[in-house]
Amino acid sequence: MKESGRTGIILAGMIGGALLGGVFAWLSSARSNEEGETALETIGPAEYFQLGIGVLTLARQFQSLLQRKL
């Protein structure tokens, strides 16, 4: 693959990831419980760890999909 094509793909991934992260942050900050806490304030370390594992699993599945297409 040409270097310019690879740079474009990386740039598109960065922009897409930033937009998706912004949407998730907006959705999680828009919700609050009876005490006025946002959803992010009620999430504990175990949930963050579980979310991180989910993101890594998704990245691994995406990479596996790309390997099959080569």
pLDDT per residue as tens digits for the range 45-59? 899 899 889 989 998
Alpha-carbon torsion (48, 55, 9, 23), positive or negative = negative
Question: What's this model's pTM, rounded to 2 decimal places?
Answer: 0.56
pLDDT at 1 over 70: no
Residue 35, SS3 per DSSP: coil
Mean pLDDT of 15-28: 87
CA atoms of 14 and 54, how far apart (whole Å): 19
CA atoms of 20 and 32, how far apart (whole Å): 21
pLDDT tier at 18, thresholds 50, 70, 90: very high
Query: What DSSP state is assigned to residue 38?
Result: B
